[in-house]
Copies of this chain bind each other. A is one copy, B any other.
Amino acid sequence: MTVSPFDHPLLAGLLGDEEAARHFSVEADIAALLDFEQALAEAQAECGVIRHEAEAAIVKALATFRPDTAKLRAGVATDGVVVPELVRQVKAAVGAPHDAYVHFGATSQDVIDTSLVLRLRQVVDHIGLLLGENVVRLTGLELEFGNRELMAMTRMQPAIPVTARDRIAAWRAPLERHQERLKELSGRLLVVQFGGAAGTLEKLGDKAATVRAALAAKLGLGDAPQWHSQRDGLAEFAGWLSLVTGSLGKFGQDVALMALVGADIKLSGGGGSSAMPHKQNPVKAEALVALARFNAVQLSGMHQALVHEQERSGAAWTLEWLILPQMVVATAAALRLAAELTAQIESLGH
């Protein structure tokens, strides 16, 4: 099934990004879910909540654990989340008597949200690198063509001559601010979620905070109080993703308009047409506009999901799943395309 172009064997070549998408595969998700369960057992043994024998049994079982994915699928259809069935399978792999300490004190949302954050950490690294690459390439473009003249266009009309440097700056400066923003928000985003059934870690008594800190440390995440019904960190990140694609969409639109008018830019490797062999379509530039508008649309849904009722909203939470991974991949794809498009610019200004 390939309903989304980001998953589509053909369309993903243009609109997808393999490295970003990789983190949203079933394999990556399950691996991160199991990382949580292992780190939890280790943290709880370290803090004296469970015995080291239990920890060892869990770690050993997880080392060779292979889930029954057909049952996981059926579990999701019934439970709305994969964790109850996954934990059942892990417990069976661990066996008595230590199975009682698998997933101890945790709830599905702890595992799923933390799994997401673990993968977003890698995504942030990947996207951060792509962002830096774009800044570098635009700087290169400025070095090469910055002094040339361009006709500034305001309200779809020729205004006065400026330099190519001026326009390139309007493409690059927002990216540099996005780098700054990413630093600011990362501390709020990349934190563990661990709260138990209703956020109070009621099974851990006075060891709750210590276990949570140890768990976070083992997973390489920041420690923070549970945020199961507080989704502002994710919505903020989604907003950042859409800021990035929006800025790149402006770049794409500018390039497409220059290609339309024709005098100010020369692009290599444009797309071909099935009816008109003479054409060189600015395909990547157009895709940047499409991805910008796509993320601008999706962002609305991530903010709708802020209305996350009570201690856990199945509806609001599920809405995030439907949206955030695609926003991530759209952003990575846009960054990849923008870097490629910059490399296609053979001439700018005159």
Contacts and interface: CB of A to CB of B under 8 A. Distances in A.
B280 A157 contact: yes
A77 B17 CA distance: 12
Task: Give the number of times this chain occurs in the complex, counting copies.
Answer: 4
Nearest to A284: B80
Given A315-B286, A318-B286, A3 B26 contact: no
A64 interface: no
Central interface residue in A153, A239, A247, by most chain B CB within 10 Å: A239
Nearest to A297: B301
Nearest to A246: B306
A5 B322 contact: yes
- Chain A interface bracket (under 10, 10 to 19, 20 to 34, 35 or more): 35 or more
Interface in A40-77: 69, 72-74, 76-77
A143 interface: no
A152 to B, nearest CB: 3
B293 A314 contact: no
Contacts of A82: 10
Interface string A198-212: 111010000000000
18 contacts: A1-B12, A3-B7, A5-B321, A10-B82, A11-B321, A78-B271, A79-B283, A153-B309, A157-B282, A163-B200, A166-B198, A166-B200, A169-B225, A239-B299, A249-B306, A250-B307, A286-B314, A292-B303
Interface of A: 1-16, 18, 21-22, 24-26, 29, 69, 72-74, 76-84, 87, 103, 106-108, 111, 152-157, 159-160, 162-163, 166-167, 169-170, 173-174, 177-178, 181, 184, 188, 196-200, 202, 225, 227, 229-233, 235-236, 239, 242-243, 246-247, 249-250, 252-254, 256-257, 259-261, 269-276, 279-283, 285-287, 289-301, 303-316, 318-319, 321-323, 325-326, 328-330
